Amino acid sequence: MISVVFTMMAVGLLLGFVGAGGSGFIIAILTVVFGFPIHMALGTALSAMVFSSLSGAISHYREGNAVLRTGLIVGGAGVIGAWFGSRFSVILPEDQLKYMTSGMLMLSGLALWLRMYLVSRRRTVDGAAQLSSGTRFWLLSCCVGIVTGLLSGMFGIGSTPFIQIGLMMLLGMSVRLAAGTTMLVIIPIALGGGVGYFSLGNLNIELTVQVTAGVMLGAYIGAKFTKRAPTLFLKTAMVLVPIAGGMVLLL
């Protein structure tokens, strides 16, 4: 118990410092270092994200950086995708799922780089026209939610870069609003996936509490030092963290 909490505190320090979600890194540590089954690690990482995303979502909403209606619709569709994703996950053999999760973590790192590239090109800026109603809005919102929910449920990742890219490119949302709304979307997706894993007996409540406590405490402390790091270093670290988690899973 103590070793898990303190290890997750160290992980949280890193994640809080670079501003990364880090669920993939948590999965890698739980499976490779502590020897937990991959399915249990996925369920634990997803459940921990519910609490780690909640405070950020509340903060973004209070600052006006999140669109509540869109977040609820995308997140509601994401619950369905995450629940089914957890069902698909348990069908896969552990070794196969481990390699697939590793690949998805590396892909999420590349997706995060793409998100940064889109921001730097300023293809979506504050004040840009965005979809907020109509049949097309509902179809695209549900599509983003279900697809990212499936990815989260199957591989235990937050799908943050995929959600943000979907909100910006498909719904025309600004960079600022996409970042805040994504935090709202992650909560129901993580909850749906966590419930799915729990119903299948792949969620250890005690382990989830230990991981959540360690990561949240470490992330809170780590975030205090973020302003001291160069921007280029932070951006590079955000991309490399999920890729590193994927590489650790291959050990």
Using pLDDT thresholds of 50, 70 and 90, give the confidence band for residue 165: confident
Task: Please name the helix (run of DSSP H) or strand (run of DSSP E) that holds residue 134, with its range, or none.
Answer: none
Instruction: Please state the separation of Cα 33 from the chain's center in Å.
Output: 21
| Cα-only R_g, the chain | 17
The pLDDT of 71-99, averaged and rounded, is: 90
pLDDT at 101 over 90: no
Based on the number of CB atoms within 10 Å of its own CB, is 62 exposed (0-12), middle (13-18) or buried (19 or more)?
A: exposed
- pLDDT on residue 129: 55
- Cα–Cα nearest to 57, from 184, 216, 145: 184
Average pLDDT, the chain: 82
Cβ atoms of 111 and 162 within 8 Å: the answer is: yes
- Segment among 115-119, 142-146, 168-172, 209-213 with least mean pLDDT: 115-119
- Segment among 48-52, 67-71, 198-202 with least mean pLDDT: 48-52
Give percent of the chain above pLDDT 90. Answer: 13
The pLDDT of 7-25, averaged and rounded, is: 72
- pLDDT on residue 81: 94
> What string of DSSP letters covers 5-74?
HHHHHHHHHHHHHHT---HHHHHHIIIIIS---HHHHHHHHHHHHHHHHHHHHHHHHHTT---HHHHHHH
Q: Please write the tens of the pLDDT for every residue from 113-157.
A: 887 777 676 554 444 456 677 888 999 999 999 999 999 888 887
Using pLDDT thresholds of 50, 70 and 90, give the confidence band for residue 17: low
- pLDDT on residue 127: 46
pLDDT at 91 over 90: no
The whole-model pTM stands at 0.79
